[in-house]
Structure 1
Amino acid sequence: MTDVNLRQFKPEKLFAPRGFVKPQIESPQYLEIGAGRGKHALMFAQDNPNKHLIAIERTRNKFNDFAEKAEQLSLNNLKAVHADAIPWVVHALEPKSLAGVFLLYPNPEPKNPSQRWLNMPFFEFLLSRMQDKAKLVLATNIQSYIEEAEQLARNQWQLEPSVFAVDKSSQRTHFEVKYLARGETCWQMDLIKPEGYQTRFDDWVKE
């Protein structure tokens, strides 16, 4: 259960992204936020034909590159979305609709730590959209980032994270390929949403 003393996210104040069309949610449904040029999203969809992935990217040039590749491959289990992820998630997803979430190499926000995913009130809302036993995967090449995320997972979100070094042969994203090729250590944190975990948004649905 999340700490009720946390700053509360206010989804009712968010407008839908421009041109928003509510998607048909398939099952099992996964979400990737910050898909970049889509390297992980494309591989995931190809390797898991029975799983459905919504992959969101905000930056126009990266999204265009991703969307073009996705169209060429004609993957019917992948939806590429150009939007700001937070309002899109609020307007598009129902409670407990996600089987998993990927946050691969997000902006570490060195000048604005309050914008890191586990530091944001939105993270509670994101947890509410995950099914029981769904897994959230966070990856970064910054050790202090993963250490902070681990602490927040335990102390703020009452979750039990698993943190480990990413295999040197992994090639999920362009960032990951670059960092590992330079000999850097990349870190991954897995969070499993426990059965019975409660948030303040478990019954909240956008009208």
Structure 2
Amino acid sequence: MRLRNIPRADRILSEHQKVIKNEAEKKGKWSMVFENEHPVYVEIGMGKGQFLTTLAEKNPDKNYIGIERYSSVLLRAVERLDAIEEKQGVKLENIRFICMDAADVPDVFEEEEVAGIYLNFSDPWPKKRHARRRLTSREFLKRYEKILDEDGVVEFKTDNQELFQFSLEQAKETGWNLKAISWDLHHDKEMCRGNVMTEYEEKFSSQGNPICKMTAAPSVKDKGISA
């Protein structure tokens, strides 16, 4: 899908207080950024921000960082946050954004600095030669393992069953523990409890597409994310 460039995006993001600049300088210092010791959760490929802003509203005792590669997409998340704060008349201090490539997460977060990672409807990169670019590939799982704390997990949702099968296989091959699996999340009462939907999730589920979800942790990490 061709992304529409928004000329004003870079300027607005560079001036916005919730968008982190020079993010590598914050490595190991995210508690100072948020000015508290609350756990940090990261969504990689956050899109327009519905999922993350909803979590930030629901859980003031947790910190959230949204990562998006494209400035024109991240702009929409920033605009959503601004609209929420204006409507409520209060600032959400537990959310920040970064415009960066997901491959660089070990350069931005210290070992065991992240409590959980969300991957929602990631690009499937359908061509076999691009498999390493998939956010649930072995290469990316190894990156996540470096930054997750001892109880940290990855939660992954998709409507793409081929990508889901690939993700399950990659997790097993990398020695990760598959904590929970559903091939039809919205009909799984246990796993769907407390589920927060993304924009894509609403769209695809309304079309009758089953939503797949897995919760996985490196072999020494054994607890799930509590939303």
Q: What TM-score do you get using the length of structure 2 for normalisation?
A: 0.72
Alignment of 1:65-144 (within 5 A): 65-72=76-83, 73=85, 74-87=91-104, 89-111=105-127, 112-144=130-162
How many residues were matched structurally?
179
Is 1:166–2:169 an aligned residue pair? no
Q: Which has the higher contact order (CA 8 A, sep 6+)?
A: 1
Q: Which has the higher helix share?
A: 2
Shift of 1:49: 0.6
Partner of 1:186: 211
When structure 1 is superposed on structure 2, of 117-126 and 44-53 the one drifting more is 117-126
Quick one: structure 1 residues 143 and 122, their matched pair in 2 at CA, closer, same or farther if it must change by over 3 Å?
closer
Is 1:61–2:72 an aligned residue pair? yes
- The residue identity in structure 2 corresponding to 1:166 is L
Match of 1:147 among 134, 150, 165: 165
Shift of 1:159: 2.5
- The answer to whether the 8 Å contact 2:106/2:146 transfers is no
Give the secondary-structure state (helix, strand or coil) at the position aligned to 2:53. helix
Structure 1 gap ranges (5+): 1-17, 198-207
Quick one: structure 1 residues 196 and 187, their matched pair in 2 at CA, closer, same or farther if it must change by over 3 Å?
closer
Quick one: structure 1 residues 105 and 136, their matched pair in 2 at CA, closer, same or farther if it must change by over 3 Å?
same
% identity of equivalent residues: 21
Counterpart CA distance in 1 for 2:106 and 2:75 is 23
Shift of 1:158: 3.8
Query: RMSD of aligned C-alpha atoms?
Result: 2.2
Shift of 1:171: 5.5
- The answer to whether the 8 Å contact 1:133/1:194 transfers is no
